[in-house]
Structures are given as structure tokens and as C-alpha cells.
Amino acid sequence: MKVLVIGANGQIGKHLVRLLQDSDEHTVKAMVRKKEQIDTMKNIGVDAVLGNLEGSVAEIAEAAKGSDAVIFTAGSGASTGPDKTLLIDLDGAVKSMEAAEKAGADRFVIVSAVQAHNRESWEGSPMSPYMVAKHYADKILEASSLNYTIVRPGGLLNDPGTGKVSVAENLEAGSIPREDVAKVIIASLNEESTYRKGFDLMSGETSVADAVKKI
């Protein structure tokens, strides 16, 4: 597949770009926000385009043109407030879905958050605005025409990936290296067992390849 990574300069995004660049199955195009980020990507041999999630759907669709799949791993970041959470994690995600449909990129994988499908899981949490944004972005994706996969990782770590994970519709709180999240996303691209499904994701004892086959 020709894969557009939205949020390619983020922490999961950088792992995705590297793994896709090394893949024999896929090619990668990185969507980034700043000109200097384009230069950085091109310096490592990665095709890159500018795109602004607070801009128009048409702009994002132009970035997605020619792609078979879109991976959405962008986020407003922990240092921003609920306003940016609404604009990026919710509206930016939905714009990306509309852009993928417009560009004919049928496959769409989104990075959500553990238990984002379960409202009770964040009751009273200071993370509530973020979880609400993830919840409704996922709901809109489920209602779209796209062949989606919703990946809901636990607490994100910068440790090296182990290649061993646990996936299920519902998992207890836990954590996972960002590198392993990226590996699961890439393994899901062509794995039919993940089509039109969402799942929680943590570190575990099952290889990535086996885990995605059992979803």
C-alpha cells in the first residue's frame, strides 16, 4: 500500500515512517506541519507534504492524493488545552477521514486511547476532554465508509519495543512502547481480522503478527 502518515513528526509517527520506509510491502508519505520538517524527512529519503489539520479538508485530501491508506497519529500534545484537543484530536481526525474518502484512500487506521469506547473509564478524570475527543472521533470513523481500524493503546513509553503485545476489545490499564504501537499499526494494514474493528493494546506475551490475527 501507499501509506500517508498524518502526524509523521510525532513520537509514534517517527517509528511508523521508519518501519514503513524499511517495508517491502508498503511505501510511505509523511504529512507534517512545518517546512523544516519536510526538509528533515527528505534528508532521510522520505516523501513528505505539508498539511494543516486546522486547515481545509481539501488541503488534507491533496496530501492524501494517490494514497491507498491513511494512518492518523496526530495529537494536540499534553501541553495544550481543551481547545486544541477539540481542533486536532477530534476535528482534525474527522477532517482526515473526510479527506481520505475524498482522495479514495479507503484504508484508515487511527491511534485512539485505551478504553476510549467506554465512557465510564474516564469519569472524573482530568483527561476527560482528550478522551471525549477520541471517543467521538472513533464513533465518526465507525460510521464512515472507510475500512477502518481503531488502535487504543495504553500508557505510551519511549522504551524500545519488545514485539510482544496484548490485544482485546477490553483490557485493564497498562502501558506499551510507542515502537510496538507502530508495529501493530503496520501489521494491521493488510490483516483482514482488524478490518472495521477497534481494540485496546498493551504490552503482553504474544507476537505482534499473532496478536493481530486473533482480533
Active site residues: 130
- Residue 196 has a CB neighbour count (10 Å cut-off) of 12
Instruction: Give 42-45's long-range contacts (Cβ < 8 A, gap of 24+).
Output: 45/21
HSE-up of residue 43 (Cα within 13 Å, Cβ side): 6
Tally of CB atoms within 10 A around 209: 12
Q: Which residues contact 95 (CB under 8 A, 6 or more apart)?
A: 53, 56, 57, 60
Phi, then psi, of 142 in degrees rounded to 5 = -60, -30
